[in-house]
Structure 1
Amino acid sequence: MLVITTVSSDEKATHAKTAGADTIINYKTEDVVARVLELTDGAGVDRIVEVDFGANLPIDVPIIKPTGVIASYSSTAVREPILPYYPLAYKGVTLHFVQAYVMAAAQRQAMLADVISLLKSGALIHRVGSCFKLSETVAAHEALESGRVIGNVVVEVA
């Protein structure tokens, strides 16, 4: 399995490589669609984990394979995207919107068990990018939204 990721800086590329990405594309300096199609001999990819669904639809549609899956957990830049129905439908693409907060309890517990197992085995690297006190919650949100923090932004409650 080839894992391709996109990043916006050399520092993020280093982190992605450490986390196990096989190929890293800087979307600020490279044509993502052309590069992915080159890497896959024009076939595209089976799965996309999407961090900004609406903003990235113009990239996702041409690179997702027939019967591929796009799993998205955010659409920050374009909060109400226009869905390119036929280009996705003709490929039989599955869209999966992932929100841990609305998962069934058993599904969430299974997911957490998988994450904990991966963390314990060292297969998953958890990086804390910044920590803030509860009184600094606004600054924590600003740091997260800036896109400059690599890793999780943690707000310490107690």
Structure 2
Amino acid sequence: MKAVTWRKFGAAQDVLQVEELPKPTPAAGEVLVRVAFSGANPSDAKARSGTRPGVTKPPFEVIVPHSDGAGVIEAVGAGVDAARVGARVWIWNGQWQRPFGTCAEYVVLPADQAVTLPETVSLEVGAVLGIPGLTAAQTVFGDGDVTGKVVLVSGGGGSVGFLAVQLAAWGGATVIATCGARDMARVKAAGATHVFDYASPTLAEDILAVSGGGVDRAVEVELGPNLALLAEVMKPLGTIAAYGSAKDMTPEMPFGPMLFKALKLDITLIYILPKAARDAAIARLHDALTAGALTLETPNVFAPDAAGAAHDLVEAGGRKGAVLVAF
């Protein structure tokens, strides 16, 4: 089968290559998926570049990247219902703690990691539901319904934030979003009631003025730089659902203001989400998609031999739409 691989850390154009690998066979409890689209995410680029803290060498001799993807089940292993053959599926954790991910014509993985797509959902959309979709669903709905609550989404123009805005609005929340000036119109159109430039010198005052007393739940992409702001704008007993802090990985916490509001900090790493929480997030995503409440922007699609350019686009940031490799 055709596969994109890497064997050493480095720049995408230097280490990603296309080669032929043996077509895998599903073992007991596994399915073989014929991949249509493989989703590239920042975590894939960080793993390939060797920039993850404490990681000094690749974990496997040969790596096929990417945890997200979508395709059609072609075969099943022992113990898996044969009726699943031919099912359109989306994939989560395709390359988590495994050498061979979705950036190949075929991937084998445990059957529950290939989730049957709703009939109305395209394979292109399915390839985005793993890391961005599940992260958005978990950070918005991790404590249950948000009907009538005020939800603040930072980075509303990003992959996770854009989905989180739509999910929170669909869930009945009043959505306040921050983003760059370029993205304000599209984030507003996605369902945010109020949108502010994250660089505004009056951001805290602006959020408090429209929130009716503060924020119930914050979906946070940059925890470190925004902790002081969050301590100011959150309601007492509010929750900060954080999934990133790339600009400050060792943040200082304003513990006093957070203490006297009894704020909860809920850090999400979607790769290790417990089964019950993952099943709930999957159900939320499917319900929103079936209701027509989620709109994903046109993806950036690359051929396998242009996977290096796909990673470059992911690393550059500021893009609109998912980054997919088509097989």
State the Cα distance separating 1:106 from its structure 2 match: 2.9
Among 234, 246, 262, the residue aligned to 1:92: 262
For 2:184 and 2:196, locate their aligned partners in 1 and report how far apart those are by CA, in whole Å: 8
Q: Equivalent of 1:79, from 242, 249, 259?
A: 249
The one-letter amino acid of 1:20's match is G
Q: Which residue of 2 aligns with 1:63?
A: 233
TM-score, length-normalised on structure 1? 0.85
Unaligned runs of 5+ in 1: none
Check if 1:31 corresponds to 2:202.
Answer: yes
Give the count of matched residue pairs. 155
Output aligned runs, 1:1-158, within 5 Å.
1-10=173-182, 12-29=183-200, 31-40=202-211, 43-154=213-324, 156=325, 158=327
In the TM superposition, residue 4 of structure 1 has moved relative to its aligned partner by 0.6
Mapped to 1, the partners of 2:200 and 2:246 lie a distance apart of 22
Tell me the alpha carbon deviations over residues 129-155 of structure 1, each in whole angstroms, 9 at most, x when there is no partner: 53344554554444334331123333x
Q: Which letter maps to 1:27?
A: Y
**Unmatched segments (≥5 aa) in structure 2:** 1-172
Q: The residue matched to 1:66 in structure 2 has which SS?
A: strand
Equivalent-residue separation in structure 2 for 1:38 and 1:64 (angstroms):
12
TM-superposed CA distance for 1:157, in Å, is 6.0
Q: Aligned partner of 1:8: which letter?
A: G
Q: Distance in 2 between matches of 1:147 and 1:31?
A: 26
Contact 1:36–1:63, Cα closer than 8 Å, also in 2: yes
Structure 1 or 2: larger helix share?
Answer: 1
Q: Which stretch has the larger CA shift, 116-125 or 126-135?
A: 126-135
Q: C-alpha distance in 2, partners of 1:31/1:19?
A: 24
Tell me the secondary structure at the aligned position of residue 69 of structure 1.
strand
Q: Check the 8 A contact 1:128/1:153 in 2, yes or no.
A: no
C-alpha distance in 2 between matches for 1:128 and 1:55 = 30
**Does the 8 Å CA contact 1:119/1:126 hold for their aligned counterparts?**
no
Counterpart CA distance in 1 for 2:200 and 2:232 is: 19
| % identical aligned pairs | 31
SS in 1 for 2:174: coil
1:59: Cα distance to partner? 1.4
Cα distance, 1:116–1:128 mapped onto 2, change above 3 Å: farther
The change in CA–CA distance for 1:61 and 1:141 in structure 2 (over 3 A counts) is: farther
Q: How far apart, in 2, do the equivalents of 1:84 and 1:29 lie?
A: 21
